[in-house]
Amino acid sequence: MPNKLSRRSFMSHISAAALAAVVPMPAFALSASSAKSLVDKLVADINRVIDSGKSESAMLKEFERIFDRYADVPTIARYALGVEARRASAAQLREFTQVFQRYISIKYGKRFREFIGGKIVVDSARQIKSFIEVKTTAHLRGEAPFDVTFLVSDKSGQEKFFNLFIEGINMLLTERTEIGAMLDQRGGNIDAMIADLRKAS
Amino acid sequence: MNKYKRTFVGRTILIGFALSLTLAACTPVDPSLMTSGGVFDPYEDTNRNNHEFNRSIDRALLRPVGKGYSSVIPSDIQTSIGNFGDNLSEPSMAVNHVLQGDVVGFGVNFYRFLINSTLGMAGLFDVAAEFGVNKNDTDFGETLHVWGAPEGAYVELPLLGPSNERDAVGKFVDLFTDPLSHAIPSPEKYYGTAARVASKVGDRGRYSNTVDSVLYDSADSYAQSRLIFTQNRRFELGGGGSDTYSDPYSDPYSDPYEDPYAE
């Protein structure tokens, strides 16, 4: 017997779909294990790129995609601007974030590219304050293994990493220093700094 | 213990204590002179002059020689030269681990020196690492840290590069903490130093992209070097001692964890 869809059940299907769209899904809770699996995926993607044997420019494009997908770039960009973020216009902030995304993914992509022949292994995850610290170890040929740590948060609405440390060297602080120096050289002119950053990347 | 060794140990400890007293008088921290990265830098003008000097040396000499070294010398030989130099610094590190009361660290240095000097063909091969006993580096700067000396002001030393007052004193004391320098006759005792210098030159070539990006591509290479050195050093010291191992993110490292979402 053909399964005839009655008007009532049809309507209930529709409303269930509508309900699903309106009512938020159970809040996706940030946990050590969810953050760890995010970094697992991120590291698998990085390992895949460094194993691919592609040209430098092709790899850097891949790293830019990886950064876009896994990093909370607007938060990182805002932090890098520091106090200057407060006096930047919305348009300046938007443009800066865009240029910064390319700059930072190329800069860190170049570093990750030096991991060719090596591997990153995810070790552990734990909660610190409101975010999760995920520790990984980079094993490079002919070198003592070293520590790469990611900090993951869901405050942007999605689980993303917002900081990374290579042997204790903090990406957020390094970039705030760099962007601050660029602004100083341009007498605090945000537009000129954005133009410089565009050239640097 | 013969008289020779006794005077060596005695002298090392004496120099250490004398210098720790000097350190107690090292530049007091003035919060208004802290950089955004939490580095105390009251001698910025002098440091920047030294930085420019170091950069000119790098450009004219170290960078080209390093690049030549790393491209001409086969990488296996470079590794062996590095291993040889590292192996000869194990006794000095063992002395520092003793001064820090770090029994495990001392054991690691002792074992590595023993194994690598014999099975590792006079230190050319790092056999101990293959047995799972990896390097456990230390120096007198770390000893001073363990003894409670503060980091002091940031300094960039001519030729030696980024450091701080505590580590600069440590570097000086380490000229005397090497038991080998008292046991090995004169020209031979410089082989280790020569190998370490060669290995540093090789590193400059090997990591030339990374080093270049800091020294020549960044907007303010002095500020970048200062931040990178200080953070990396604090990280090493926080995670170095076995007693701090359970919580490597104690005080000196907690600052980087400030919450960007809170701003």
- Determine which helix (DSSP H) or strand (DSSP E) holds A63, and give its type and residue range: helix A56-70
Nearest to A43 by CA among A134, A126, A107: A134
- In chain A, residues with a C-beta closer than 8 Å to the C-beta of B223 are 177, 180-181
User: For residue range B155-199, what is the model confidence (pLDDT) as tens digits?
Assistant: 999 999 999 999 999 999 998 888 888 888 888 888 888 999 999
**CATH of region A26-200:** 3.10.450.710
Q: What does the angle CA A172 – CA B35 – CA B140 come to, to the nearest 5 degrees? A: 95
Domain positions in chain B: 3-24+38-236
Q: Chain A: nearest CA to B4, how far in angstroms?
A: 36
E strand or H helix that includes residue A14: helix A7-22
Residue predicted with more confidence, B59 or A24 = B59
The pTM of the full predicted model, rounded to 2 decimals, is 0.82
Break chain A into its structural domains and give their ranges. 26-200
User: What is the reported pLDDT for B21?
Assistant: 59
ipTM score of complex: 0.80
Closest C-alpha to A115, from A137, A89, A132, A82: A137
Highest mean pLDDT pick, A22-26, A79-83, B199-203: B199-203
Please check the confidence at residue A53 and state whether its pLDDT lies above 70.
Answer: yes
- Between the alpha carbon of residue B257 and those of residues B39, B82, B127, B247, the distances in Å are 16, 35, 38, 14
Q: What is the pLDDT of residue B242?
A: 29
Q: Does residue A129 belong to the interface with chain B, where contact is any CB pair within 8 Å?
A: yes
Q: Quick one: closest CA in B to A201, which residue? A: B217
A39 pLDDT above the threshold of 60: yes
* Chain A partners within 8 Å of B79 (Cβ): 142
Cβ-defined contact of A180 to B259 (cutoff 8 Å) = no
Q: What is the DSSP code (8-state) at residue A88?
A: S
Please tell me the distance from the alpha carbon of residue B177 to that of residue B261, in angstroms, as a whole number: 47
pLDDT in tens, A55-114: 888 988 999 999 999 999 998 998 888 888 888 999 999 999 999 999 998 888 888 877
**B208, two tokens:** 């030339």
What strands, in cross-sheet order, belong to the sheet with A119-128? A119-128, A131-139, A146-153, A160-166, A169-170
Return the residue matching tokens 């602004």: A183
Q: Is B147 exposed, middle or buried (0-12, 13-18, 19+ CB in 10 A)?
A: middle
Could you write out the DSSP letters of every residue in B15-45? HHHHHHHHHHTS----GGGB-TTS-B-TTHH
Among chain A residues, the shortest Cα distance to B76 is held by: A142
User: How crowded is residue A139: how many other Cβ atoms within 10 Å of its Cβ?
Assistant: 14
* SS3 at position A151: strand
* Mean pLDDT computed over every residue of chain B: 84
pLDDT per residue over A118-140, tens digit each? 888 999 998 887 788 999 999 88
C-alpha dist (Å) from residue B223 to A163, A190, B47: 20, 20, 10
